[in-house]
Amino acid sequence: MSCSPIDLMDYLLHELAGPRRAEVEEHVQNCVACREELDRLRLTQTALMSLGEEEMPRRIAFVSDPVFEPPLWRRAWGGFWGSGPRLGFASAALLSIAILVSALTRPAPAPVPRTVTVVREAGGIGADEVDRRIQAAVASSEARQNRKAEELVKRIADRDRRQIEALRLAAAQEVDYYQHNERVLTANFSALRPSEGEAR
Amino acid sequence: MIFRAVEDADLIQQAARGAVEAYNLLVSRWEKRVYNYLLRITGNREDALDLTQDVFLKAYQNLRKLDDPGRFAPWLYRIAHNEAYSMFRKRRPETDVDELEPESVETGIVFGGSSVFPMELSLAVAGALERLSPEQREAVVLKIYQGFKFEEMAEILSCPVSTVKSRLYSAFDLLKAELAPIRTRGVS
């Protein structure tokens, strides 16, 4: 053990546990400096103890006067609620009672929905039959949806075909118009040439 | 018939139920110690007596809140500490508590009544205690004169144990230095 004034103080003031106290005692026997310091501390403590206790000039005594005594029910009430643990216990007990009362007075559960009843009335239907019917309903729905999709595609295709046909017809009419104009112009040009020869 | 000493815990339980006589017996066991504790930290007999009465009145009013009768002593001294510092603040509200000193150095407070120690030593001790800070002095009083453990002192003073130790160790260093000349003159 090394020299520690704090250990010496704690040793002097009886604040060291048994093993530690024995260590300090052993150290003090072998260490002159610590022994002298402990002696100084002991002398200081002894000097302090030279101041004794003083007697009281007057003794204190309380008298029981019913006028100033709180009523019995208030003392009992205050005695009960003045304690933290008791207050906690009482709170827990009240909470437990509230839960119990709530559980006992809870209204009956709401009636089961009608759809569930229908399923129960169809008793005798096994899970496989239910699955089969669900699959059939799903297949029917899918077929219906496929049919509608096919009709829609066909309708769109017909519309596109009609639009293309109309465009093609319009283009053909345009071609006919330009060809007709070309023929007219050619005829007119041919008609003009002889008149030029005649002029010569 | 079995006789046994009436423990403080028994008196506390009876007093908590309103038995004034039981409380008076409890007061008679503790009043001198509380008075001397207050006398050491206030340095004034009248104040110490008034405060002692207030402490026991307040303790009686709050006795039902004491859950563990085994902790009565630190609980009672906690009340005493609070009452004393409350008085200090009322008298000098503008002064920080750390700067509070006993009102007067009554070197003749007590001289022990023991023939082993001469008056010179008692005067020197009283003077040395007065020169400590209020916190150091209270730590010395609680430990040396009242015999409390560090944990109980921490509870009374409402501070960590490390603070209690620090105050006490520094106080002892000062007291050792103050009282050394007296001892070396062979008074002790």
Identify the CA nearest to B98 among candidates B141, B151, B137, B155: B137
To the nearest 10 degrees (0 to 180), the angle between helices A18-30 and A5-12 is 120
Distance of alpha carbon B165 from alpha carbon B170, whole angstroms: 8
**Cβ of B72: how many Cβ atoms within 10 Å?**
18
Judge whether A55 is closer than 8 Å to chain B, CB to CB.
Answer: yes
* Judgement on whether residues B67 and B94 belong to the same structural domain of the protein: yes
CATH number of the domain encompassing residue B168? 1.10.10.10
Q: Is A112 on the interface with B (CB under 8 A)?
A: no
Residues A83, B65: C-beta atoms closer than 8 Å: yes
Considering the domain architecture, whether residues B146 and B57 belong to the same structural domain is answered as no
Instruction: Tell me, yes or no, whether B46 and B130 share the same domain.
Output: no
- How confident is the model at residue B106, as a pLDDT? 44
Rounded-to-integer distance, Cα B125 and Cα B143, Å: 16
- The SS3 assignment for A134 reads helix
Chain B nearest CA to A11, separation (Å): 12
**Cα-to-chain-centroid distance, residue B72:** 14
- How many of the other CB atoms lie within 10 Å of CB of A143? 10
Nearest residue of chain B to residue A70 (CA atoms): B18
Q: Which residues contact B110 (CB under 8 A, 6 or more apart)?
A: A51, A52, A53, A54, B122, B126
Put simply, the answer to whether A53 touches B145 (Cβ < 8 Å) is yes
For each of chain A's 200 residues, which pLDDT tens digit applies? 567 777 888 899 988 888 888 888 888 888 888 898 899 899 888 888 888 888 888 888 887 766 556 666 766 666 666 667 777 888 888 899 999 888 888 777 666 555 544 455 555 678 888 899 999 999 999 999 999 999 999 999 999 999 999 999 999 998 998 899 898 988 888 888 765 555 44
Task: Give the residue from chain B lying closest to A51, CA to CA.
Answer: B112
CA distance B65 to A114: 61
**Å from B111 to nearest chain A CA?**
6
B32, B124, B140 ranked by CB distance to A53: nearest? B32
Which residue among B53, B72, B102 closes a domain? B102
Contact B65 A75 (CB under 8 A): no
The residue range of the domain holding B120 is: 105-188
Same-domain status, B74 and B21: yes
Task: Note the pTM of the prediction, 2 decimals.
Answer: 0.58
Chain B contact present for A40, CB below 8 A = yes
Q: Are residues B85 and B10 in the same domain?
A: yes
Token code pair at residue A71? 């009523």
Low-confidence stretches of chain B (pLDDT beneath 50): 103-117, 187-188
- What number of C-beta contacts closer than 8 Å exist between A and B? 113
Nearest Cα residue to B103 out of B51, B47, B44:
B44
- Whether residues B144 and A48 touch (CB distance < 8 A) is answered with yes
Residues B131 and B94 in one domain: no
Residues of A in contact with B67 (CB under 8 A): 83-85
CB-CB under 8 Å, A44 with B31:
no
Do residues B35 and B118 both lie within one domain?
no
Residues B15 and B47 in one domain: yes
User: B150 and B95 in one domain?
Assistant: no
Asked if B20 and B75 sit in the same domain, the reply is yes
Tell me whether 0.90 is exceeded by the ipTM.
no
Please report which residue ranges of chain A form alpha helices under DSSP H. Answer: 5-12, 18-30, 32-48, 72-81, 84-104, 114-121, 127-199
- Is A85 at the interface with chain B, CB within 8 A? yes
Q: Which residue in this structure is represented by tokens 């003045």?
A: A82
pLDDT digits (tens, 9 = 90+) for B125-134: 888 898 999 9
Least Cα separation, residue B157 to chain A (angstroms): 18
DSSP letter string, B55-101: HHHHHHHTGGG---GGGHHHHHHHHHHHHHHHHHHHH-TTS-GGG--
Q: Among B73, B82, B68, which Cα is nearest to B16's?
A: B68
Alpha-carbon span A48 to A172, nearest angstrom = 132
- Which of A48, A58, A74 is the best residue to mutate to test the B interface, defined by the most B CB atoms within 10 Å of its own CB? A48
Q: Are residues B51 and B87 in the same domain?
A: yes
Nearest to B79 by CA among B45, B43, B30: B30
| Same domain, residue pair B29 and B83 | yes
Selected residue of B14, B24, B141 to mutate for chain A interface (largest A Cβ count, 10 A) = B24
Q: Copy the structure tokens of residue B107.
A: 């070197």
Instruction: Judge whether A45 and B144 are in contact, CB under 8 Å.
Output: yes
pLDDT for the residue B33: 94
Rounded to the nearest angstrom, the minimum Cα separation between B166 and chain A is 10
What lies within 8 Å, CB to CB, of A15 at 6+ separation is B149, B150
Q: What is the pLDDT of residue B57?
A: 92
For residue B103, the model assigns a pLDDT of 47
Burial of B107 (0-12, 13-18, 19+ CB in 10 A): middle
Crossing angle of helices B20-42 and B45-61, in 10° steps, is 140
**Count of domains observed in chain B:** 2
Do B31 and A59 make contact, defined as CB atoms within 8 angstroms? yes
Last residue of a domain, one of B52, B77, B102: B102
Instruction: From B71, B87, B102, give the residue that closes a domain.
Output: B102
